[in-house]
Amino acid sequence: MKLKIFLSSRNDDILDLPDGVNLTEMRKSIAAKIEAIRFLGKEIFEVSINEEFGADASTDSYNKCLLEIQDSDFVIVLYNGNAGWAPTGIDMGICHAELDAALNVSTKKTAVINMKKYFKPSEKDDAEIARNAAFEKYLLDLNLFNNPVKLPEAQKNRSGFENELLNEIEREIRKHLDERIRLSNLYFNIAGNNKISLNWKKLKYSDRDMQIKTILSEQLKATATFKDFTYKCYSIPDNMSVEDAKSFTGRPFLNDQDIIEIPTGSETLKYGPLHFIGVYGNATEIQVKNLIGYPDISVIKEDFGIYVWEQNTHIQLVFLTDCRTPEAVKSKYLLFNSWCVSSGEMENIRKRANARYIIMRAIREAMAIVG
């Protein structure tokens, strides 16, 4: 039982402090200290750095690093301003590619520690300058500059920096373990064959539909996140592959122009509609694309289920999967609510909902003209 941690950073860059050391030596030292930690007398961490698995400056090594990312349980990116080397013909540095690969697996799998202020730029050519600029923009766009290393004057040396960096890494590992425990408790609550889940298995579709929609509506009313939105709640009271169950939702966005509320006077502008669909069972990306009837849409799969956005008409649907008990419905909604904030996606959801509202209002006005 080990948590495999991947430390991603440049190798040869030198710390810009007294007794500066390159990142290879520092990462080896930190990896050894983390792996020395014991829990109940057992080793619990395995730290992976590319020096240990034979990565070099080659195309094969580039791909090997990305495969190692996918095999890891947690990725910590040590950002010092440099995106890293790239094979010929590739414009994304290896550090940039490693972070992107980790985020594509799960946003909960990744942390970034910013230590740029303690390293001098080391660009050798225009291609490297471009890679570094792209990496920095990528981090800024994702709002991932949350954990800067900070050193008091008395600790601005190699030893002080290494100790503080180790402390930051340990803090990120603790936060990650806390999150894993929280999520595992959620899934135990969701998946258990207890009396409540057995009762829900016995419900008719119509009764299960009503329960899911009622609980989901209550959750939305109880949180402030979507208070300015027009939204509707639906259910699919079985797996999404079951046509009879899918008919309970249909294609709700077809009537969005009838759902929106036109503000009068000084009323706040409404956003949306945003559609929340509680799925009793599972759903796939293909199934949600088929429901919309158009394959070229953005689909994001996360712990809560699936979020869908159509980029031309700005339809937005949230599929909360595995809603097999009242607790599961609440948990899945809270996971979505948390994802909106932690991923920085909430502002984009709001902008899309604003665009959708404007489109639907224009349709309403056009319908009024022709009667």
- Count CB neighbours of 141 within 10 A: 9
Residues 235 and 332: their CA atoms lie apart, in Å, by: 13
Q: How confident is the model at residue 141 (pLDDT cuts 50, 70, 90)?
A: confident
Tell me the domains of the chain and their CATH numbers: 3-182 (3.40.50), 202-370 (no CATH)
- Token output for 159: 């030893």
Q: How confident is the model at residue 264 (pLDDT cuts 50, 70, 90)?
A: low
Q: How confident is the model at residue 269 (pLDDT cuts 50, 70, 90)?
A: low
The answer, yes or no, to whether residue 192 has pLDDT greater than 70, is no
Helix axes 94-105, 126-141, angle to 10 degrees: 30
- Token output for 130: 């471009």
On average, the pLDDT of the chain sits at 86
Q: How confident is the model at residue 344 (pLDDT cuts 50, 70, 90)?
A: confident
Q: What is the 3-state secondary structure (H, E, C) of the chain?
A: CCEEEEEECCCCCEECCCCCCEHHHHHHHHHHHHHCCEECCEECEEEECCCCCCCCCCHHHHHHHHHHHHHCCEEEEEECCCCCCCCCCCCCCHHHHHHHHHHHHCHHHEEEEECHHHECCCCCCHHHHHHHHHHHHHHHHCCCCCCECCCCHHHCCHHHHHHHHHHHHHHHHHHHHHHHHHHHHHHHHHHCCCHHHHHHHCCCHHHHHHHHHHHHHHHHHHCCCCCCEEEEEEEECCCCCCHHHHCCCCCHHHHHHHHCCCCCCCCCCCEEEEEEEEECCCCCHHHHHHHHCCCCCEEEEECCEEEEECCCCCCEEEEECCCCCHHHHHHHHHHHHHHHHHCCCHHHHHHHHHHHHHHHHHHHHHHHHHC
What is the rounded average pLDDT of the residues 153-167?
Answer: 88
- Quick one: pLDDT at residue 227? 87
The pLDDT tens digits for 273-331 are: 999 999 999 999 999 999 888 888 999 998 899 999 999 999 999 999 999 888 889 88
More confident residue, 219 or 140: 219
More confident residue, 245 or 20: 245
The pLDDT tens digits for 204-237 are: 999 999 999 999 999 999 888 898 899 999 999 9
Whether a cis peptide bond, with omega within 30° of 0, leads into 326 is no
- Quick one: pLDDT at residue 206? 96
The answer, yes or no, to whether residue 159 has pLDDT greater than 60, is yes
Residues 122 and 80: their CA atoms lie apart, in Å, by: 10
Residues 230 and 256: their CA atoms lie apart, in Å, by: 10
- Token output for 264: 């009068």
pTM: 0.61
Q: Quote the radius of gyration of the chain (alpha carbons, Å).
A: 25
Phi, psi values for residue 316, rounded to 5°: -135, 130
More confident residue, 215 or 15: 215
- Quick one: pLDDT at residue 240? 95
